[in-house]
């Protein structure tokens, strides 16, 4: 009986195994078939996406090439998103991960205005300023170009539902400024509102150990203090007042007013006033709806009231043909350097190895007779700044180098500029900040809160130097401060030699202090005030090129095909993040890259928070 039961159980197990094996093979075959089918479907879908992307790209190319500028056209300058130095051509991938790029290149804006000035088919500019982000130096560059445009005798009219302060600064140059009857106009002046994290870090048990040179060097203050230092308040008050003086003077000049009137209006906060107030204060010329403004445009260009207004956008103007310029033996290189200065390689910013290689190629190119080094950087790695300084010094020995400062060229950004033959800045450029610092986190408090202990066994006295689980001891702190002092002395020496100033004289304007371009010219840190054009003109004079030369931009921007097929995962992630985070992207990347950055930095705050 027991035997039969055992046999029955054994047979049952065999049957179950047999059934299991049958089911297993079924599942395995089904899974394999499913995998093959899924792979085929995935490949098919990927191929469709790729063809769609390529089709979209070819379509966009076709659109750009097929654009034909009509007679009696208007250049529609519509400002939205963020204005950057240069922006790569949009590609279909951008649309897949985050929609249409919200950035526009300053070079594309300037190029569109110049083409419009010299093209008889364009009769004027329709300025449509929305909510957009741009620094005061960038705005000054655009405004100057608009003023030059008016010399052609063509009109500029501005219209908006809501003028933000930066948009109104540009609109004030127009022949006629119009606003919607229910619109708003904002003039409020400038303010700097830094955020401080010291107390938040203390609650987490984190102490930031700071070693710096420069009374005014303020980058680390948000991490080590709860308010601005008196020295920092002094410098911020100085430079924002100087920037505001230029902004309000330009607005007042455009509206035939006195600068004091702009201050008076700002103190009344016109954003919350009715349009009657705006008219009475001469801030606008007329209050109309957009349909009425379009009818006014039709009158200006002489077309029927129901006719479509021929227009061209900034993007359209890229395909408007001009005289083809070929590289010749008399060429000037316009070399762009934008973002944080970092050591090694990366997907953004100014990488020292990449930038040095670009500079070296320009040095060896016999057709390049001069270089305009366009800098837009608040600094970064002191080591990387030194490497780029050396490359510029080598380049300067063979051909003229003129620096054109953009929105900011301070700290490490000034370091790499100091040795140029000439330095040109906008009056509202932020520059200087000659000083360095080192900042090291101490997480011992965090470990205490978590109940975590550490120990160490070492072969030498400084084997665990920089251990984040403890604070620096007195000897280590003294060594770090000495190292930072030496770095500052080298920075000061580079700037003094580059500017041809005694070191002790330059030291009075250093100490990490920030200056506007206007102030920097008065104390000898800058040679001339102006934009890229002025820098190019000076470079041509230094190279004895007269007016016979061509200008080419470097580094070469990637084509849309390269953007799609040569991306690494970091670049793809960066593009997606930038699309979704907007202006917060720079702060996010700064925090992300802290672990990869050199401990010794020559930089100003990542964002001056001027608004």
Active-site residue set: 217, 411
Spatial CB neighbours of 434, under 8 Å, sequence gap ≥ 6:
214, 411, 414, 415, 491, 492, 495, 506, 509, 510, 511, 512, 513
- Distance of alpha carbon 31 from its chain centroid, rounded? 50
Q: What are the beta bridge partners of residue 465?
A: none
Contact 53, 563 (CB under 8 A): no
Cβ atoms < 10 Å from Cβ of 22: 10
477 phi, psi to nearest 5 deg = -65, -40
Phi, psi of 37, rounded to the nearest 5 degrees: -65, -45
Residue 178's nearest CA partner among 77, 80, 275 is: 275
Angle CA 515–214–202, to nearest 5: 110
Distance, in Å, from the CA atom of 509 to the CA atom of 15, rounded to the nearest integer, reads 92
Rounded Cα distance, 385 and 567, in Å: 27
| Burial group, residue 483, by CB count within 10 angstroms (0-12, 13-18, 19+) | middle
Of 400, 395, 329, residue with least CA distance to 370: 400
How far is the CA of 247 from the CAs of 126, 170, 213, 594, in angstroms?
Answer: 22, 10, 32, 35
Q: DSSP of 88-109, one letter per residue? A: PPP-HHHHHHHSS--EEEHHHH
* Element spanning 368, H or E: strand 368-377
What single DSSP character describes residue 193? -
Token pair in block for residue 388: 């780029």
Kindly list the distances between the CA atom of residue 434 and the CA atoms of 22, 405, 487, in Å, as whole numbers in the listed order: 77, 15, 11
Give the Cα separation of 66 and 69 in Å (integer). Answer: 10
Tokens standing for 258? Answer: 């006195």
Sole residue written with tokens 């230029």: 246
Rounded CA separation 551/480 (Å): 45
| CA–CA separation, 236 and 194 (whole Å) | 11
Selection from 323, 381, 328, 377 nearest residue 352 by Cα = 381
Indicate left, alpha or beta for 104 from its phi (over 0: left) and psi (-120 to 50: alpha).
beta
CA distance 190 to 611: 5
Max distance between CA atoms of the chain, in angstroms, equals 116
């Amino acid at each position: 009986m027991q035997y039969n039961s055992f046999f029955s159980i054994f047979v049952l197990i065999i049957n179950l195994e047999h059934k299991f094996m049958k089911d297993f093979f079924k599942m395995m075959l089904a899974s394999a078939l499913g995998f093959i089918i899924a792979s085929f479907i995935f490949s098919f879908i990927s191929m469709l996406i790729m063809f769609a992307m390529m089709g979209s790209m070819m379509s966009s190319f076709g659109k750009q090439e097929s654009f034909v500028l009509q007679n009696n056209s208007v250049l529609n300058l519509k400002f939205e998103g963020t204005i950057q130095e240069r922006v790569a051509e949009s590609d279909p991938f951008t649309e897949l991960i985050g929609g249409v790029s919200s950035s526009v290149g300053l070079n594309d804006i300037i190029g569109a205005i110049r083409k419009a000035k010299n093209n008889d088919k364009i009769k004027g500019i329709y300025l449509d300023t929305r909510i957009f982000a741009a620094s005061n130096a960038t705005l000054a560059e655009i405004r100057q170009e608009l003023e030059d445009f008016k010399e052609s005798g063509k009109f500029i009219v501005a219209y908006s539902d809501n003028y933000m302060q930066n948009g109104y600064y540009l609109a004030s140059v127009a022949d006629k400024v119009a606003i919607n009857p229910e619109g708003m106009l904002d003039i409020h002046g400038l303010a700097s509102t830094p955020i401080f994290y010291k107390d938040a870090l203390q609650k987490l048990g984190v102490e930031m150990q700071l070693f710096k040179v420069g009374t005014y060097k303020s980058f680390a203050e948000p991490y080590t203090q709860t308010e601005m230092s008196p020295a920092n308040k002094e410098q911020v008050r100085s430079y924002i007042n100087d920037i505001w003086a230029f902004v309000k003077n330009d607005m007042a000049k455009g509206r035939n007013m006195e600068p004091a009137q702009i201050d008076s209006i700002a103190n009344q906060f016109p954003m919350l006033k009715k349009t009657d107030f705006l008219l009475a204060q001469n801030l606008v010329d007329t209050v109309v709806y957009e349909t009425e403004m379009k009818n006014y445009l039709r009158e200006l260009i002489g077309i029927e009231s129901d006719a479509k207004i021929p227009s061209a956008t900034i993007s359209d103007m890229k395909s408007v043909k001009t005289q083809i310029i070929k590289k010749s033996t008399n060429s000037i290189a316009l070399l762009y350097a934008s973002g944080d200065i970092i050591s090694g390689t990366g997907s953004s910013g100014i990488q020292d190895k990449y930038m040095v290689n670009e500079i070296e190629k320009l040095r060896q190119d016999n057709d390049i007779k001069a270089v305009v080094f366009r800098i837009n950087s608040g600094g970064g790695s002191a080591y990387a700044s030194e490497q780029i300084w050396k490359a510029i010094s080598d380049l300067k020995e063979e051909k003229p180098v003129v620096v054109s400062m953009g929105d900011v060229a301070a700290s490490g950004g000034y370091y790499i500029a100091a040795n140029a033959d000439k330095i040109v800045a906008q009056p509202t450029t932020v520059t200087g900040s000659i000083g360095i610092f080192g900042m090291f986190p101490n997480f011992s408090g965090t470990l205490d809160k978590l109940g975590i202990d550490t120990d160490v066994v070492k072969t030498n006295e400084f084997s665990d130097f920089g251990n984040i689980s403890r604070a620096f001891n007195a000897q280590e702190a003294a060594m770090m401060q000495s190292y930072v002092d030496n770095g500052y002395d080298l920075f000061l020496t580079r700037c003094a030699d580059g500017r041809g100033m005694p070191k002790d004289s330059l030291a009075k304007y250093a100490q990490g202090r920030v200056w506007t371009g206007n102030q920097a010219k008065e104390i000898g840190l800058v040679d001339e005030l102006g934009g890229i054009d002025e820098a190019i003109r000076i470079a041509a004079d230094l190279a004895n090129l007269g007016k016979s030369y061509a200008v080419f931009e470097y580094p070469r921007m990637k084509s849309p095909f390269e953007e799609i097929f040569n991306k690494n995962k970091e670049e793809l992630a960066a593009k997606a993040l930038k699309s979704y985070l907007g202006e917060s992207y720079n702060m996010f990347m700064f925090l992300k890259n802290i672990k990869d950055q050199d401990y010794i930095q020559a930089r100003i705050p990542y964002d001056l928070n001027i608004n």
